[in-house]
Structure 1
């Protein structure tokens, strides 16, 4: 997409606005499948928590993707988007046995990540196909907030608890069809990921009827010029070779599964916001926009960086700005960032806004959530309308006049 296209979309649909480029999602999907083309049975399950708009789910379904879900609501959205139950993978954490049972009844693949629920579920449903999430105790991610495979993580069953796990499976006669791991996001060193993969291979040897191995995801994407990213091609070459060799050792051709979220949609996303005010203080020039961390919380929550461009005047003289929002607490998207000269009314574009941006948006300060647009075949398609005051009131029940009087 070009800057002029984004400016036109902001004019057409208003701001703030999320825009997603379908072609970029397709190219990322193709890049991943090509990297693992040496594996005969490969399955991509899109981690929909990254961006769960039904239109995006439909787009990925048409590409051949399955879904990785973490809640019963995501499962329901996936079914609504047209996915067959067997194409949906359910990996919850800390949910009740009742929720897992509800999802099981839908025919979705269950992935269990703790011994207590595993034993309860296996006792009641020994014939239901189950995957087990292993914690390999490996820090493969670059951000501590989103690394989930280390020893202090709440996720997965410790690899050191394998003897106990195996005993539960033997006692309940459970049907274990898969082994899963997820080390976390922003994988910087593929050798560390391959080391974790070896732990998964060793764990898999304890189960004789596996159909697949699920390696999660967490592939890093570039956030700025010359930024490092996961070398998908190199990982594909090395892990494919090792996976194929393991299948020979295991005596059965297994399916290799990945669960990319950010990798597929992050770079496809653009967040557009209008500059309300340019404010000069004694030490800083602030560019205040018509949004805040209620719409894009990652810079405040994770310390993440989103490249910011002035797409209204992209060739202007560069100056240093702190880009801030309109929320009543500290609400800073960027400090002392070099951006083409900004004037009130300009449209700023935040890149890498496809993953964990709208999906983490809120109505904090009673602000409306923005609209979403899909750029497909050279046209902008509205896939979520901008919220209205009626949306804020929906499901609220005011007190009767008599009860409201103290």
Structure 2
């Protein structure tokens, strides 16, 4: 949806000077908005005795943003060795780090265990590959036909993630036999979901699996992790997720479990998009017009800065600085310079008339924007800026350069001769 009114009111008056100072294109993130969402999340789950958000580093892997998360008391959900290092650079240690594996290497397991992180295994075949079974182990659960997914992750039966239902008891048995003494259970079967009931049923499912495993093996679960996937309203007409209702209903499920079993596992969550997605915009400048079978507005960013519209057909709201209230009387495709016809931020979108030099804002790029960038065509990823709570603007990542692009070609020649 359009950026929040508060973000707009603080950014809009200074945006031309920011663009003049730093140049375009750039992603700019809103510290106040990020902190506000984090505090809202904590308030919503205040009824859960032990709740913790583990921010999904993949959504916006920038130390300046991760530092904000750490200051709010959040941990970090990581899925690669560099993401573990990013979390450590902002002070995360031990069980502040959750490593959710997927087709995992032994090197990655060792990196997680070396820092005392929580190892969240994705498959039973990984159990004998763990170099030294830690005291605390977690498994990612895939319910298969017991649940439906959504468009981004897909049908759980077809998803590459997680331990199948019929394997889950044996997974914990084998981990226990190899030395595990503390246990967690994780799942994530949807992405960008705005139906609060979906997440309530996910927690209900997790608690049912906990009951099944503990009845079979006599073990207690230290935590359940309901995953991420909390959605945001990208389109102006989309209804937002009812966070407070969701949290209240989940707290009720945990209380009921506690009455039956005499204990309540901690509740973890690993939201990424929900935390930062609405609090970022890609600012780019109109540089060309093309008039053929369609009207095209060319901007100085391309899908190397934001590829969601290209790979998902995802909608991102687009506005023109200073023309937010102007009539949307032209229908255009907003395009970049990449040699791919899906290099479009908007397709057949009704917008105000855009002149060369106008600043064009692509909304909701605070998650899976810069992070999903790439270098096809030799296109370079843009800089990232942060609008601080005190009104200052800080560059938190410089734009890539040609030297960066060629850096991996600078090495000592090595040739194998058979």
Alpha-carbon separation, structure 2, partners of 1:166 and 1:83: 27
The answer as to 2:139 corresponding to 1:132 is yes
Deviations 1:234-267 (A, max 9, x none): 1111111111221332322321111000000000
2:161 matched to which residue of 1? 155
Change beyond 3 A, Cα 1:6–1:203: same
Q: CA deviation at 1:353?
A: 0.5
Q: CA deviation at 1:163?
A: 3.8
Equivalences for 1:162-241 in 2 at 5 Å?
Answer: 162-205=168-211, 206-207=213-214, 208-241=219-252
Residue pair 1:273, 1:348 contacting (<8 A) in 2 also: yes
2:291 matched to which residue of 1? 280
2:317 matched to which residue of 1? 307
Alpha-carbon separation, structure 1, partners of 2:134 and 2:123: 19
Alpha-carbon separation, structure 2, partners of 1:272 and 1:30: 27
Residue pair 1:140, 1:193 contacting (<8 A) in 2 also: no
Equivalences for 1:227-306 in 2 at 5 Å?
Answer: 227-281=238-292, 283-306=293-316
Change beyond 3 A, Cα 1:321–1:261: same
Alpha-carbon separation, structure 2, partners of 1:392 and 1:187: 36
Q: CA deviation at 1:126?
A: 4.1
Moved more, 219-228 or 242-251: 242-251
Equivalences for 1:60-139 in 2 at 5 Å?
Answer: 60-121=69-130, 125-137=132-144
Residue pair 2:137, 2:175 contacting (<8 A) in 1 also: no
The SS at the match of 1:146 is: coil
The SS at the match of 1:395 is: helix
Q: CA deviation at 1:315?
A: 3.7
1:13 matched to which residue of 2? 22
Moved more, 10-19 or 260-269: 10-19
Residue pair 1:140, 1:192 contacting (<8 A) in 2 also: no
Moved more, 289-298 or 314-323: 314-323
The answer as to 2:63 corresponding to 1:27 is no
Equivalent pairs counted in the alignment come to: 396
Deviations 1:146-192 (A, max 9, x none): 34x71221111012223432442454342242111111212243333
2:384 matched to which residue of 1? 372
Moved more, 18-27 or 189-198: 189-198
Residue pair 1:136, 1:200 contacting (<8 A) in 2 also: no
The SS at the match of 1:64 is: coil
Q: CA deviation at 1:9?
A: 1.8
Superposition TM-score, scaled by structure 1 size: 0.92
Alpha-carbon separation, structure 2, partners of 1:203 and 1:78: 30
2:396 matched to which residue of 1? 383
Superposition TM-score, scaled by structure 2 size: 0.89
Deviations 1:57-82 (A, max 9, x none): 01111111110111111001110121
Deviations 1:377-401 (A, max 9, x none): 211111011222222222322899x
2:4 matched to which residue of 1? none
Alpha-carbon separation, structure 2, partners of 1:134 and 1:61: 27
Alpha-carbon separation, structure 2, partners of 1:188 and 1:386: 33
Structure 2, unmatched stretches of 5+, are: 1-6
Alpha-carbon separation, structure 1, partners of 2:392 and 2:176: 56
The answer as to 2:340 corresponding to 1:329 is yes
1:349 matched to which residue of 2? 361
